[in-house]
């Protein structure tokens, strides 16, 4: 089957510790006696699963694509300190899963003699820290497989700039170490690392470096076997996992026990969780109304059910979570080109996505108009894929698009209180929570 099965590695690494930075897998042989790190690497992949649904909820329900109904869940739609009540279901599992993935990746990086394994591990570590820094801002950095259990200074949150330094370094190493043979098996690849690095540079405002990396992805996609799906609907659904548009996805299988013990992303978007039976935000409907003839509409929203059919419920527990796909990268590349003064090139890339959606070429002409057109297109193209909120924060358009004035401290989410307490205050909480 197409799935990247990780049961063995996951079982080896399921351990409980006082906090998520000093976990050492005491139930397996020490790394000094291991020769094959395949299971350890697979554990790093497996632990990404726990970040999927929290990221999906933060990306769409915090923004103007989806809404919650049952208290205290509507705290996602309020910009105050109420979100701390969501630790158990979202922020705690998210934080724990990613630091477990980081620890497993560290073990591979320190000890494996396989260049490919180390490259994959560096990609996964970079992906983990990228998720953490966008959600929480400053976070602890651990780059060793055996962190001290007595020196709590390792738990101190490090500046965003330092976290991005780790991310970019790891991705540069991954690009150098990896080829693209892993695409068909769902593993990290060179082009996935390039795509993620381009996305990272866009996040940090380095649009020049972003354009270079994103150009490499867009121009090298064909040679790597990556292409836009002709039919937008064919990107989604369990039968379409690992289709030609997917650059990297977290592979999920119902045959593998997921550590995340709550409703999964496909349940939330479809209105199958009682906390949000009608999740579709009317503002997203209005956005599609402003794009008449858009072929993505029926794939993305169902006005009768006020939900999203994007991830069909048949085979729901087997849906892969798409981290990077060519459609999203093309739009990010268009944005990078526009921000670097190449508005004509930006329109060329934007219109690739509009053409597939059954729309005419964009009528935008100025850089400001093209910037807004790209932002609008990203919303329609990527709705319910966990991008919207992070795009708004990245482009400093939260207030403009949400229609309210939001204190910037609520652009970030609360760290798990359990981690703050377990560290005896070494880990500090974000302002406002």
Interval 104-154: pLDDT, tens: 999 999 999 999 999 999 999 999 999 999 999 999 999 999 998 888 888
CATH of 7-325+382-419, one of 1.10.3720.10, 1.20.1250.20, 3.40.47.10, 1.25.40.390: 1.25.40.390
Tell me the pTM: 0.93
Q: What are the residue ranges spanned by the domains of the chain?
A: 7-325+382-419
- How much is the pLDDT for 24? 35
Angle at 343 between CA 376 and CA 357, to 5 degrees: 40
| Per-residue buried b or exposed e for 383-406, using 16+ beta carbons within 10 Å of the residue's own CB | bbbbbbbbbbbbbeebeebbeeee
d(CA 397, CA 6): 39
* Angle in degrees, 0-180, between the axes of helices 367-382 and 282-289, rounded to the nearest 10: 120
Question: Of 83, 427, 93, 74, nearest to 260 (Cα)?
Answer: 93
- How much is the pLDDT for 215? 98
- How much is the pLDDT for 121? 98
d(CA 386, CA 365): 29
Residues of the chain where predicted confidence (pLDDT) is lower than 70: 1-34
d(CA 28, CA 12): 6
3-state helix, strand, coil in the chain (%, to 5): 55, 5, 40
- How much is the pLDDT for 6? 40
- How much is the pLDDT for 74? 97
Tokens read off for 415: 């760290």
d(CA 229, CA 51): 26
- How much is the pLDDT for 10? 39
Check if the beta carbon of residue 154 is closer than 8 Å to that of residue 147: yes
Sign of CA dihedral 28, 29, 32, 36: negative
Check if the beta carbon of residue 43 is closer than 8 Å to that of residue 12: yes
d(CA 52, CA 57): 9
- How much is the pLDDT for 13? 40
- How much is the pLDDT for 182? 82
């Amino acid at each position: 089957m197409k799935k990247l099965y990780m049961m063995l590695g996951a079982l080896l690494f399921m351990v409980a510790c006082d906090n998520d930075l000093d976990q050492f897998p005491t139930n397996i042989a020490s790394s000094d006696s291991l020769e094959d790190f395949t299971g350890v690497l697979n554990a790093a992949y497996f632990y990404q699963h726990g970040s999927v649904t929290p990221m999906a909820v933060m990306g769409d329900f915090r923004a103007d694509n989806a809404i919650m109904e049952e208290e205290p869940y509507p705290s996602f739609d309020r910009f105050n300190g109420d979100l701390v009540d969501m630790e158990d279901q979202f922020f705690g599992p998210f934080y724990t899963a990613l630091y477990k993935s980081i620890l497993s990746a560290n073990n591979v990086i320190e000890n494996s003699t396989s260049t490919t394994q180390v490259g994959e591990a560096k990609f996964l570590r970079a992906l983990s820290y990228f998720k953490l820094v966008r959600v929480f801002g400053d976070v602890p950095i651990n780059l060793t497989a055996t962190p001290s259990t007595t020196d709590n200074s390792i738990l101190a949150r490090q500046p965003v700039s330092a976290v991005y330094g780790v991310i970019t370094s790891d991705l540069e190493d991954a690009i150098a170490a990896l080829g693209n043979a892993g695409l068909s098996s769902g593993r990290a690849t060179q082009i996935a690392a390039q795509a993620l690095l381009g996305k990272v540079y866009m996040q940090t405002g380095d649009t020049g470096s972003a354009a270079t990396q994103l150009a490499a992805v867009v121009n090298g996609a064909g040679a790597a076997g990556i292409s836009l799906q002709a039919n937008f609907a064919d990107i989604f659904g369990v039968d379409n996992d690992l289709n030609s548009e997917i650059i990297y996805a977290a592979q999920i299988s119902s045959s593998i026990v997921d550590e995340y013990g709550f409703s999964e992303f496909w349940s939330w978007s479809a209105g199958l969780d009682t906390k949000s039976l009608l999740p579709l935000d009317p503002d997203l409907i209005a956005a599609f109304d402003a794009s008449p003839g858009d072929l993505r509409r029926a794939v993305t929203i169902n006005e009768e059910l006020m939900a999203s059919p994007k991830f069909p419920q048949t085979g729901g527990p087997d849906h892969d979570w798409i981290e990077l796909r060519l459609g999203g990268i093309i739009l990010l590349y268009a944005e990078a080109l526009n921000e670097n003064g190449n508005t004509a090139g930006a329109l060329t890339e934007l219109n690739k996505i509009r053409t597939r959606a059954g729309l005419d070429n964009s009528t935008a002409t100025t850089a400001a108009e093209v910037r807004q057109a790209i932002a609008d297109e990203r919303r329609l193209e990527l709705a319910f894929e966990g991008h919207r909120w992070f795009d708004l924060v990245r482009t400093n358009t939260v207030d403009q698009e949400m229609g309210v004035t939001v204190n910037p401290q609520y652009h970030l989410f609360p760290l798990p209180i359990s981690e703050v307490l377990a560290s005896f205050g070494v880990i500090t909480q974000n302002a406002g929570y």
